[in-house]
Chains A and B, each alone.
Chain A
Amino acid sequence: MTSPDAPSTRPSAVLRDTRAVLVRELWPVLRDPFSVVFSLLQPLVFLAFFTPLLAGMTGAPLGDQLQWFVPGIIVMSTLFGTAMAGSNLLAEMQSGSHERMLVTPVSRSALMIGRALKEMVPLSVQAVVLTGVAAVFGFRPHPPGMALGLVLLAVFGIGLGALSYSLGIASRNRDWMFWAVQQGLLFPLMILSGMLLPLESAPRWLQVLSSVNPLTYLVGAERALFNGLLTDPTVWQGALAAVGVATLGLVVGVRMMRRSV
């Protein structure tokens, strides 16, 4: 018998349960690591085809172009990989596995926080692999800056993952809605962040839209960090954006999880 006197709302119990959920989420990744690498195809395609295109347009040497472009591509792989996370929960709600977990005494918050934390793992692996591939073509990251960049990325990924899981919960009775909303947001967010193309020459209204996109600040911070500009003001702005997204994601996510039956 388990101890019925361990209410799952106590902080220590939430911590223990978060760990249990995180470990469960990591099993499929560990058992089938190829799944993590597979989602790298898209950013690699952009890296291979878009960099020369960009270099041709700006007239900059390929190496310089990579220094600008690779941090953006790394954010892109986080964006696309993590924004899909909710579809896993959606599938678990449509099968019986989510319900099965809800009948256990596991804390409802932990079911969200553990999942969101897990998102750090694939996104970090992807960022490292992408950096490695880009290094072959002449990309030179600044190691301490890159480490800090990965931390920012991980914090942002927790928030985005939680938001994606929340969207999964919200669209549990009509799964097309998950993809409609997700795709509908993903591309505007990506283009408006200046991830692929610089927005300096964009019309004023686009720049205004870009300035309210948290991703813009994250991309700016990653560019500064990967190039060793640790004191650049974009760094704290990006950190603020990442922490903001993480806070919002977890608050919304935990609330949604409590109403997920």
Chain B
Amino acid sequence: MTPIISSRGLSKTFRGPGGGTVTAVADLTMDVEAGSLTAFLGPNGAGKSTSLRMLTTLLRPTAGTATVCGHDVTTEPGAVRSAIGYIGQKNGAGQYYRVRDELVSQGAFYGLGRAERRRRADELIDALDLGGVVDRPTMNLSGGQRRRVDIALGLVPAPRLLFLDEPSTGLDPQSRSQLWDHLLGLRERLGITLFLTTHYLEEADQFAERVMVVDGGRIIADDTAARLKSDLAGDRLTVTVVDPDHPTVVDALRAAAQGRDATVEHGSAPDTDVAAVRYSVTLDRGDRALPALLAHLAGRGQQVLAAEVRRPSLDDVFLGLTGRSLREEPTEPTGPDQPAPTTVPGVTP
């Protein structure tokens, strides 16, 4: 099957302050399957938006090529634009314009006929629960409503492929979950390929089938969220044992961790009345290792007070890859449009 997005060595450099060049995106090479839901995950300034802007014809690549829906982004931008939908970081409807007017105009921009424009607008108003606000200027809408208008605008051309740049940034948790309900529902009904950027770990983790971790303008990891976590972070298993026989417990945990770098950490357990020690280890599939471990320890006369398996988050993955946490907001104000300076060429797996 031909990939719906295919890029080879796509790069973008900007002229930076002082005449130097700043690399926003370096050598983006990827294939995205039709029908998939892919997330570009990375901190602000990692090059996510710049990549998206090249794929949607908003920015000309400095080097490399990309094909989107079968058309080259540089030589056939018109054909790419006709085939895709795009939801940018900011609101797409003019603030003085009414919701329905903007939807109908959007249809005209895609060359739809008069009746088709109206029909499409009504359909999307319905699909995105905008019935109550269609005759209001968008400046009078709530953040969540405005975002739904943006999605409706992006869907006007009935695209096969929808790009979303930070779709849920700035929304409260309730609007965010509503937004995802809508997106996933639409995807199921219409079979759209979704390609989005996000810096929300939970979002990538929960919804994306494929996560590309981006840092410094490069893809540094690319897999399903589950595999990224098990390959690059692993589960954290912790047992609290009352009055333990130290070597027995350590050996048992090492055995449970099998091939992994099985460093068993231990420390006194807080909040217990008895003399208990907490042991933890990183391992694959902690949920499967736990029952056997507990049976083994019980057989050796060890009294286990508590056991816990913590699944890794994508933040653990990012931390493992870069030594930095995604949750740390950058101290300097790097806007989404400002490309981050790249570090030395990293290793792309």
Contacts and interface: CB of A to CB of B under 8 A. Distances in A.
Contact of A20 (B79, B91, B92, B105): B105
Contacts of A95: 90-91, 94-95
Interface residues of B, number: 39
Nearest to A9: B78
Contact of A101 (B84, B89, B109, B150): B109
Contacts of A16: 111
A5 B82 CA distance: 9
A24 B111 contact: no
B224 interface: no
A2 interface: yes
Interface in A17-74: 17, 19-20, 23-24, 27-28, 31-32
Interface string B53-92: 1001111000000000001000000110111101011111
B111 A102 contact: no
A105 B111 contact: yes
Given A2-B110, A2-B112, A27-B98, A99 B79 contact: no
B82 A23 contact: no
B97 A24 contact: yes
A99 B90 contact: yes
Given A28-B97, A31-B98, A31-B101, A96 B108 contact: no
A235 B320 CA distance: 76
Contacts of A102: 58
B290 interface: no
Interface residues of A, number: 34
Contacts of B81: 103-105
A198 B71 CA distance: 61
B126 to A, nearest CB: 20
Contacts of B79: 4-5
Contact of A97 (B89, B92, B160): B92
A106 B153 CA distance: 14
Contacts, number: 102
A250 B108 CA distance: 22
A19 to B, nearest CB: 8
Nearest to A91: B95
Given A16-B111, A24-B105, A96-B91, A8 B86 contact: no
B106 interface: yes
B30 interface: no
A2 B113 CA distance: 10
B161 to A, nearest CB: 12
A19 B114 CA distance: 12
Contact of A7 (B78, B86, B150): B78
A89 to B, nearest CB: 10
B93 interface: yes
B88 A23 contact: no
B207 interface: no
A105 B153 contact: no
Nearest to A31: B98
A1 B88 CA distance: 21
Given A23-B105, A97-B95, A103-B58, 7 more contacts: A2-B111, A4-B71, A95-B95, A100-B92, A100-B106, A103-B84, A104-B110
20 contacts: A1-B83, A1-B157, A6-B82, A6-B111, A16-B111, A27-B97, A27-B105, A31-B137, A95-B94, A95-B95, A96-B150, A97-B92, A97-B93, A97-B94, A100-B93, A100-B106, A103-B56, A104-B106, A261-B53, A261-B58
A-B pairs, 6 with minimum CB distance: A96-B90, A100-B92, A20-B108, A24-B105, A104-B109, A103-B86
